[in-house]
Amino acid sequence: MDLHESSEDQGFRAEVRRFVAAELPADIRAKVLGFLRVEREDYVRWQRILDARGWGAPGWPTSHGGCGWNAVQRNIFDEECFTAGAPRQMPFGLSMIGPVLMKYGSPQQQARFLPRIKTMEDWWCQGYSEPGAGSDLASLKTRAERVGSGADAHYVVTGQKTWTSFAQWANWMFALVRTSDDGKPQRGISLLLIPMDSAGISVRPIRTLDGGHDVNEVFLDAVRVPAANLVGLENDGWTIAKYLLGHERTAIAGLGMCKRLLRRLKEIARVQVRRGRPLIEDAGFRARVAAIEIEVLAHEWGLARLISLEQAGRGLGAEPSMLKIRGSEIQARLGELLMDCAGPYALPCLEEALTFGYDGPTAGGVELNALAGLYLDLRKVAIYGGTNEIQRGLIGKAIVGT
């Protein structure tokens, strides 16, 4: 057992920290750390800065232009980027469809799509959930009929996807569609790559509690998709989807986000005042901050342990589900504490002031203005990526064995 970060890893951490400090544009940093709206162009700009440094695809093997980093390095990279205020690298291309194409994609698909993921020339969105298929994803109903033959072979896709993050910015969607009704529902699902500018696609924004617009409904009305855009075999989409879920399972922990929120909480609690003293010196509030910091530490060490075990070849069972639950609960609690920092100024919420550069009036300042929205928004982490109840079910079944 060696419970200290190796000197190589320490050196790598310092290198990443220096790079992010020097290269992350100040306006992007201010948006991210101030919980302001981050635009499409911000994500793309940062991704291209990383890619120019050779760090565009941390999780990819070098054979596909990735960094070839191990899980420890990827975790360090993620943590340093997050705490320094970098926007997250969009996972839909890099962590989802990219690895799937590497394993199941045709050589043509790999050559066509992989390089454009790294540079974000393509913005991918994920067409999984449907109004009637959330946790029970296999009950999805969006239909794809195969018609034509030879060069004209194509699918006609009709149905509706929902909770599609950034569909309004995406030019591609990878979607699970039903290609057969035979056998178990899981058996008749296929994975298709669909251009978002196809005729028959319309995108309706869904406003979330914080007034933000990340998620959408996507309607598909007889959308024509070339058969060459099928990934893997027809009716084999469920296997592929499961592979995708099993990929980078420790990344689900959200440790970098937890650390960013914790750091901001302490900064804000040092500035806000109660009875003439910094809020952080208030005994009750300080105990709450201490308690959540202890939980973040447990999350950090739990993750480090799992990464170490995984690298040693131990299969991870239900442990990633625990990381998901803890990471989401910690983020939600930090959101609460951040809002609590604002006291009565949690109430006024001016949407315009969430745009970087806003210089009009606010009730309690731009910083406090963002905190209630953040609290509301962070409730989502326990819901997406498999609700915490689904995760608890997986853990329960694994350890009780019934």
Partner 1 sequence: MNFLYTEEQQMLADTVARFVQAEYGFEARRKRLEASRRQAPGYSDALWTQLAELGLFALNVPEAHGGIGAGPVETMIVMEALGRGLVLEPFLTTGVIAPRLIATHGSAAQKDRYLGAIATGGLRFALALLEPQSRFDLDEVATTADRADGGWALHGAKAVVLHGDSADRLIVSARTAAAPAGITLLLVDARAAGVTMTGFPTLDGQRAAEVRFDGVHVDDADVLGDVNQGLPLAEWAVDQGLAALAAESVGAMDKLTELTCEHLATRRQFGQAIGSFQALQHRAADMRIAVEQARALALMAAARVDSTDAKQRRAAASAAKAMAGRSGRFVGQQATQLHGGMGMTDELACGHYFKRLTAIDMTWGDSDHHVERYGELL
Total Cβ atoms within 10 A of residue 237: 28
Q: Which token pair is 273?
A: 């005042």
Q: Rounded to the nearest whole angstrom, what is the least distance from the CB of residue 294 to partner 1 in the complex?
A: 5
Classify 150 in phi/psi space as left (phi over 0), alpha (psi -120 to 50) or beta: left
Give the active site residue among 130, 248, 336, 367.
Answer: 248
Minimum distance between the CB of residue 269 and partner 1, rounded to whole angstroms?
A: 9
Asked if residue 300 binds partner 1 (CB under 8 A), the reply is yes
- Indicate which single residue of 38, 156, 304, 376 sits in contact with partner 1 (rule: CB under 8 A): 304
User: Among residues 168, 171, 190, 194, which one has the least CA distance to residue 179?
Assistant: 190
Q: Among 172-180, 230-238, 313-321, 348-356, which window interacts with partner 1 (CB under 8 A)?
A: 313-321
Q: Which two tokens stand for residue 329?
A: 């609960």
Site string for partner 1, 240-279 (x = CB under 8 A): --------------------------x-------------
Asked if 294 is part of the footprint of partner 1 (rule: CB under 8 A), the reply reads yes
Size of the residue set binding partner 1 (CB under 8 A): 47
Neighbouring C-beta atoms of residue 107, cutoff 10 Å: 7
Helix or strand run (H / E) with residue 274: strand 273-274
Strand pairing category for 215-226 and 277-278: unpaired
Q: Which of residues 316-335 bind partner 1 (CB under 8 A)?
A: 318-319, 321-322, 325-326
Using the rule CB under 8 A, is 234 a contact of partner 1?
no
Q: Which of 286, 316, 332, 340 binds partner 1 (CB under 8 A)?
A: 286
What token pair was written down for 43?
A: 């994500």
Under the criterion CB under 8 A, does residue 385 sit at the interface with partner 1? no
Among 73, 165, 308, 387, binds partner 1 (CB under 8 A): 308
Min. distance of Cβ 138 from partner 1 in angstroms? 19
Cα separation, 56 vs 64, in Å, equals 11
Q: Which of residues 21-60 bind partner 1 (CB under 8 A)?
A: none
Active site residue 248: yes
Q: What secondary structure does DSSP assign to 328-371, as a single string?
A: HHHHHHHHHHHHHHHGGGGS---GGGGSTT--S--SS-HHHHTH
Q: Does 221 bind partner 1 (CB under 8 A)?
A: no
The three-class DSSP label of residue 190 is strand
Q: Looking at beta carbons, which pairs linking 74-79 to residues 24 or more positions away fall under 8 Å?
A: 74/248, 74/251, 75/250, 75/255, 75/303, 75/304, 75/307, 76/9, 76/12, 76/13, 76/16, 77/12, 77/16, 78/251, 78/255, 78/256, 79/255, 79/256, 79/259
Give the shortest CB-255-to-partner 1 separation in angstroms.
12
> With CB under 8 A as the contact rule, which of the stretches 152-160, 212-220, 288-296, 361-369 interacts with partner 1?
288-296
Cβ within 8 Å of residue 18, ≥6 positions away = none
Minimum distance of partner 1 from residue 69's CB (angstroms): 15
**Which residues are near partner 1 by CB under 8 A?**
1-6, 9, 72, 266, 280, 283, 286-287, 289-291, 293-295, 297-302, 304-305, 308-309, 312, 318-319, 321-322, 325-326, 389, 391-393, 395-397, 399-402
Active site residues: 248
